[in-house]
Amino acid sequence: MGSQEVLGQAARLASSGLLLQVLFRLITFVLNAFILRFLSKEIVGVVNVRLTLLYSTTLFLAREAFRRACLSGGTQRDWSQTLNLLWLTVPLGVFWSLFLGWIWLQLLEVPDPNVVPHYATGVVLFGLSAVVELLGEPFWVLAQAHMFVKLKVIAESLSVILKSILTAFLVLWLPHWGLYIFSLAQLFYATVLVLCYVIYFTKLLDSPESTKLQTLPVSRIRDLLPNITRNRAFINWKEAKLTWSFFKQSFLKQILTEGVYDIVNNLGSLVARLIFQPIEESFYIFFAKVLEREKDATLQKQEDVAVAAAVLESLLKLALLAGLTITVFGFAYSQLALDIYGGAMLSSGYGPVLLRSYCLYVLLLAINGVTECFTFAAMSKEEVDRYNFVMLALSSSFLVLSYLLTRWCGSVGFILANCFNMGIRITQSLCFIHRYYRRSLHRPLAGLHLSPVLLGTFALSGGVTAVSEVLLCCEQGWPARLAHTAVGAFCLGATLGTTFLTETKLIHFLRTQLGVPRCTDKMM
């Protein structure tokens, strides 16, 4: 498979991921509005913050490293060893669900049972749901590695829709169940998601078309199960060592960046999750398939290196522009967003300052997502280990800075400390990218350069909207708020128009790759 074909499929994967994120957020928004009519906000808060965090942390620690390592192998790998390695996510998930569940029940404050009943059952079932979802990990990685785009879209959409229907039904008919409702719905979601992948591969491998899929490394559904043979090792130890390196990196990242989970986090990172996460996940696969680890850029196929450099430059430009847009306009519209979302209780307090600080963090988050997307796809195991050592060495300074800034300026200090941490990670990745391409003719870091005209437009928009906020928002009533919104819309339109005229290379990339699909899905 050529690099251009891989690029087209990665772009389709990113586009479908973006559409899925929009669909899921819309469903979640409508569902929360419905649920709050029948259940207390305390129960919904425990689910959306405490239990969802348990679920996502268990999955992240159990599978993130395996995904990064197993999606970056070459075409000559022994897939039976890779699948055996992926099955280790299940016992690892059991360990993390038990360990984190104990923390959630014994070390964290337990909600008042009169207000939030069945909390312990919720912790157990959310942990069990994470383990159930890990049962589908070998199927998921095989599908991602072979770009089964429609399978991902159908499986995740069906799971979320059915989970939402079940939640709404239980809330309507059995509201007294409380946390039981969300726990059973989460378990149902994980089960449906896994079954979609299992049923698809079962039907695919049993059909006559399976003989035509020469790129598929398995011929029977049994081949996807753990396989022990005497003439070879159970797992590929080189792949296992790379997984361990990525696990240390993932563990450190989870410890150093978690901490903001409430309303400000949900609002501030909404666009980041909608746009950047699907792009990061999809193009990590692209870079991992196109580039070979442990080889300098000059020693690889130059066509692939050139395509990877062009894609990285465009993604950096896209992340920078999206992050700058969020930062510039977020500063002037944080108070209005909080006022619409939660009324004067949020907009008149400390919330706007927190959200403005978080807008800066989103800019760094966007750039870091793209740089690490490339870096971890191209790094050798030794380079990943060195990266982990640097992160560990800097963790003490991060903790000290968090303590000092939090004492100095409260919650904003913690966000600023996270910005410092993100800046260090970006610097590490930029140094790696510079070294990787320094002997070649390609300069992908040019994607971080903007034209003076566009920078001036951003600065002017920021100044105009800041003045508009002072004059029109938010105590003057809805006519003034609408006028403030109109000013922002005009400035945003001017900024986007300037971008369209000055960043022609990026516009061409978006049109040819993220806009119109270039490849047909051969697998569906």
Nearest to 15, CA basis, from 523, 522, 511, 524:
511
Tokens of 427: 């610097």
The pLDDT tens digits for 106-133 are: 988 888 888 888 899 999 999 999 999 9
* Most confidently modeled range among 102-106, 157-161, 207-211: 102-106
**Backbone dihedral region for residue 410 (phi beyond 0: left; psi -120 to 50: alpha; all else: beta):** left
Tokens of 437: 């391409």
pTM of the model: 0.70
Among residues of the chain, what percentage have pLDDT more than 70?
82
- Who has greater pLDDT, 339 or 155? 155
Q: Is 114 helix (H, G, I), strand (E, B) or coil?
A: coil
Cis peptide before 373 (omega within 30 of 0): no
Q: What is the pLDDT of residue 47?
A: 86
**DSSP readout, 120-179?**
HHHHHHHHHHHHHHHTTHHHHHHHHHTT-HHHHHHHHHHHHHHHHHHHHHHHHH-GGGTH
SS3 content of the chain, % helix, strand, coil (to 5): 80, 0, 20
Name the pLDDT band for 291 (thresholds 50, 70, 90).
Answer: confident
- DSSP secondary structure code for residue 269 in this structure: T
Taking CB atoms within 8 Å and a gap of at least 24, the contacts of 105-114 are 108/50, 111/42, 111/46, 111/50
The pLDDT tens digits for 348-363 are: 666 678 788 888 888 8
Query: Nearest 5 degrees, angle CA 337-CA 455-CA 449?
Result: 115
Task: Inform me whether the pLDDT recorded for 38 exceeds 50.
Answer: yes
Residue where the block lists tokens 């239980």: 170
Task: Inform me whether the pLDDT recorded for 443 exceeds 60.
Answer: yes
From residue 136, how far is each of 126, 155, 240 by CA, in Å? 16, 11, 19
Cβ(523)–Cβ(201) below 8 Å: no
Cβ(316)–Cβ(444) below 8 Å: yes
Residue where the block lists tokens 């998601």: 193
Q: What is the pLDDT of residue 517?
A: 41
Q: How far is CA 102 from the centre of its chain?
A: 26
Q: What is the pLDDT of residue 261?
A: 36
Task: Inform me whether the pLDDT recorded for 18 exceeds 70.
Answer: no
- DSSP secondary structure code for residue 225 in this structure: S
Name the pLDDT band for 334 (thresholds 50, 70, 90).
Answer: confident
The pLDDT tens digits for 409-431 are: 776 787 788 888 888 889 989 99
